[in-house]
């Protein structure tokens, strides 16, 4: 059973700071999706990464897929309060436990 481990579990930062969250597995991912969930809502897809070594950018968010396709990271530059939420990685119907990010104004 492939488990998705996310770290850190909680992250509280000030507006304008940078941060990175991680998603790791002992097995190779076929592909990986990142979602963000805000309170009272369902998760919303941010990106899908497929190719080892792939880097995708979405405004201030940068997603990397490890060369071996066992890990992925999400980097946020100059975080804003609107980035607050639960960040989840997903593969093969399994979600990681998530990183709960709070960005304080």
Partner 1 sequence: KAGVTQTPRYLIKTRGQQVTLSCSPISGHRSVSWYQQTPGQGLQFLFEYFSETQRNKGNFPGRFSGRQFSNSRSEMNVSTLELGDSALYLCASSLGLAGGHVGGELFFGEGSRLTVL
Is 21 a binder of partner 1 (CB under 8 A)?
A: no
Total H helices, total E strands in the chain: 0, 11
Q: Establish if 96 lies at the interface with partner 1 (CB under 8 A).
A: yes
Rounded distance between C-alpha atoms, residue 59 and residue 51, angstroms: 20
Query: Which positions ≥6 away from 105 have C-beta within 8 Å?
Result: 15, 81
Stretch that binds partner 1, among 20-28, 37-45, 52-60, 77-85 (CB under 8 A): 37-45
Q: In this complex, which beta carbon is closest to partner 1, that of residue 36 or of residue 76?
A: 36
b vs e for 73-91, b when ≥16 Cβ sit within 10 Å of the residue's Cβ?
Answer: bbbbeebeeebbbbbbbbb
- Asked if residue 70 binds partner 1 (CB under 8 A), the reply is no
The set of residues, in sequence order, having a beta carbon less than 8 Å from that of 94 and lying 6+ positions away, is: 2, 3, 4
Beta bridge partners of 49: 32
Of 10-18, 33-41, 55-63, 77-85: span binding partner 1 (CB under 8 A): 33-41
Residue closer to partner 1 by CB (options 71, 95) is 95
Q: Which is nearer to partner 1, 1 or 14 (CB)?
A: 1
Tell me the closest approach of the beta carbon of residue 45 to partner 1, in angstroms.
5
Q: Which residues between 76 and 95 bind partner 1 (CB under 8 A)?
A: 88, 90-95
């Amino acid at each position: 059973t492939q488990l998705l481990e996310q770290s850190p579990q909680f992250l509280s930062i000030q507006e304008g700071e940078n941060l990175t969250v991680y998603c790791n597995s002992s097995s190779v991912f076929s592909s990986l999706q990142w979602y963000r969930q805000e309170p009272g809502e369902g998760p919303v897809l941010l990106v899908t990464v497929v190719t080892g070594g792939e880097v995708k950018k979405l405004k201030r968010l940068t997603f990397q897929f490890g060369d071996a396709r066992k890990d992925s990271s999400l980097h946020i530059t100059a975080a804003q309060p609107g980035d607050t939420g639960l960040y989840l990685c997903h593969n093969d119907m399994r979600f990681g436990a998530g990183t709960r990010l709070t960005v304080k104004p």
